[in-house]
Amino acid sequence: MANHASAVKRNRQRIKRTARNRAHKSALRTELKAARGAITGGAANAAVEVREATSALDKAASRGTIPARRASRLKGRLAAALHRASKKAA
C-alpha cells in the first residue's frame, strides 16, 4: 500500500492508464483479426479492412499504447499479405 499522497495518486493514475491501454489494445486486436480474416477469406472489402486496421495501429502508436516500431511492422505485414492475396486472386 502507498505510504504518501503522491504515491496514492500515482497508483490511481496507473490503474486508469492500464485500463485505457487494455481497452485500446483489445480494440486493436479486433481490428487486426478482422483485417486478417478479410485477407484470408478473399473478401472484396479486404483493402478497406486493412486501411482501418492501419489507422487503428497508427492511433495506438501515437497514444503510446504500443511501440511505433511494432505498429510499423504490423502495418507492413498486413500490406504484404494483402498484396499476396490480391496477386493470387488475379
pLDDT tens, position by position, 24-39: 999 999 999 999 999 9
- Cell numbers that stand for 73 in this block: 511492422
Residue 28 to residue 54: CA distance in whole angstroms: 10
- Angle CA(68)–CA(14)–CA(63) in degrees, nearest 5? 25
In this prediction, residue 80 has a pLDDT band, given cuts at 50, 70 and 90, of very high
- Angle CA(41)–CA(55)–CA(13) in degrees, nearest 5? 120
Cell 487494455 maps to which residue? Answer: 22
- pLDDT tens digit sequence for 39-74: 999 888 999 999 999 999 999 999 999 999 999 999
Check whether 1 has a pLDDT greater than 80.
Answer: no
The pTM of this model reads 0.88
CATH of 22-89, one of 1.20.58, 1.10.1060, 1.10.3470, 1.10.287: 1.20.58
How do the domains of the chain map onto residue ranges?
Answer: 22-89
Using the 8-state DSSP alphabet, how is residue 1 labeled?
A: -
